[in-house]
């Protein structure tokens, strides 16, 4: 019972992190129809920026803000100067995002070295909350809360604002959206920036919870891929479901059958592929 409660809690907090990464990825996939290999890199950059800010200024919230904004901006710049112009050419886009990812990874290695770095979260996060005999790390509760908040903001944005409607239109039918006068190029740039921002936000939190180190960018990618595959491209709801599924499977898998734990990810992916190849919540058939 202990095991189940603890693992469930861990799964949820892990899912929170995955949502931030996968949510960004699925939005980018939905609007721009590209698989952003650099998504993990944005996580990494965010984590390192967060680390620097916390070390020199000491303010965790500032770190969250600055990392998100800076990486969001980075994303937009990359989209504008490198990715734009490759629309519709899947392979070229993959090569480009791969190149960006490898470049960022190696640059960070030069600047920060190979040792894992972690930053201190705000003091209240260091405590543990006691509920019914179980101890829950407040930092992880914070993670879940932060992710939930982000989800709500995104949901409100997507469904209740005009900008969100523009986003949804671009996901559904880009040509049509363009025909309606929507500046699809700007939407692409903004979405790429948004996706990067979410990843960076996750990176700061990840740096606080565990650590940031070279290689984590590629380690998270398979997990994010599965989140997007299960949830469906462009679907916010889908990425929540996908994150939870992956979070649970990975946590419980590691705990129960460590040798096959990656394989446990493969199974739901295969099931989704068999039933609805474009993902459970995607709007395409």
Q: By CB under 8 A, name the binding residues for other proteins.
A: 29, 33-35, 37, 82, 85-86, 89-96, 98-103, 105-107, 110, 218, 221-222, 225-226, 228-229, 233, 258-263, 265-266, 269-270, 273-274, 277-278
Paired residues of 212 in beta bridges = 117
Supply the minimum distance, in Å, between the C-beta of residue 70 and other proteins: 20
Supply the minimum distance, in Å, between the C-beta of residue 93 and other proteins: 7
Query: Do the beta carbons of residue 169 and residue 182 sit within 8 Å?
Result: yes
Supply the minimum distance, in Å, between the C-beta of residue 84 and other proteins: 11
Closest to 27 (Cα-Cα) out of 149, 164, 143: 164
Supply the minimum distance, in Å, between the C-beta of residue 138 and other proteins: 31
Query: Looking at beta carbons only, is 34 or 154 nearer to other proteins?
Result: 34
Query: Looking at beta carbons only, is 69 or 109 nearer to other proteins?
Result: 109
Residue 245 host element (H or E): helix 236-256
**How many angstroms separate the CA atoms of 285 and 263, rounded?**
27
Supply the minimum distance, in Å, between the C-beta of residue 106 and other proteins: 4
Degrees, nearest 5: CA angle 228-232-237: 95
Kindly state the DSSP code that residue 283 receives in the 8-state scheme: S
**How many angstroms separate the CA atoms of 282 and 100, rounded?**
28
Residue 137 host element (H or E): strand 134-137
Query: Looking at beta carbons only, is 44 or 143 nearer to other proteins?
Result: 44
Query: Looking at beta carbons only, is 126 or 267 nearer to other proteins?
Result: 267
Supply the minimum distance, in Å, between the C-beta of residue 259 and other proteins: 5
Cβ neighbours for 264, distance < 8 A, ≥ 6 positions apart: 249, 250, 252, 253, 257
Query: Looking at beta carbons only, is 128 or 261 nearer to other proteins?
Result: 261
Query: Looking at beta carbons only, is 106 or 160 nearer to other proteins?
Result: 106
């Amino acid at each position: 019972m202990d095991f189940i409660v603890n693992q469930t809690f861990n799964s949820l907090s892990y899912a929170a992190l995955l949502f931030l990464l996968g949510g960004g990825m699925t939005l980018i996939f939905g609007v721009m129809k590209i698989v952003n290999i650099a998504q993990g890199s944005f996580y990494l950059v965010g984590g390192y920026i967060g680390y620097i800010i916390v070390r020199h200024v000491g303010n965790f919230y500032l770190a969250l803000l600055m990392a998100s904004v800076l990486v969001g901006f980075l994303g937009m710049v990359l989209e504008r100067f490198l990715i734009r112009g490759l629309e519709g050419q899947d392979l070229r886009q993959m090569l480009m995002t791969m190149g960006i990812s490898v470049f960022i990874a190696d640059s960070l290695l030069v600047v920060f070295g190979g040792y894992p770095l972690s930053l201190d979260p705000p003091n209240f996060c260091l405590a543990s909350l006691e509920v019914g005999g179980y101890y829950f790390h407040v930092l992880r509760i914070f993670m879940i809360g932060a992710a939930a908040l982000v989800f709500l903001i995104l949901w409100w944005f997507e469904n209740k604002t005009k900008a969100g409607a523009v986003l949804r239109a671009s996901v559904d039918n880009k040509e049509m959206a363009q025909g309606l006068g929507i500046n699809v190029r700007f939407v692409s740039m903004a979405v790429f920036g948004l996706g990067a921002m979410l990843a960076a936000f996750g990176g700061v939190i990840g740096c606080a919870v565990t650590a940031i180190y070279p290689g984590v960018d590629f380690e998270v990618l398979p997990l994010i891929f599965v989140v997007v595959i299960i949830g469906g491209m462009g679907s916010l709801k889908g990425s929540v479901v996908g994150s939870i599924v992956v979070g649970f499977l990975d946590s419980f898998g590691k705990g129960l059958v460590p040798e096959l734990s990656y394989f446990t990810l493969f199974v739901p992916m295969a099931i989704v592929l068999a039933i609805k190849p474009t993902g459970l919540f995607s709007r395409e058939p």
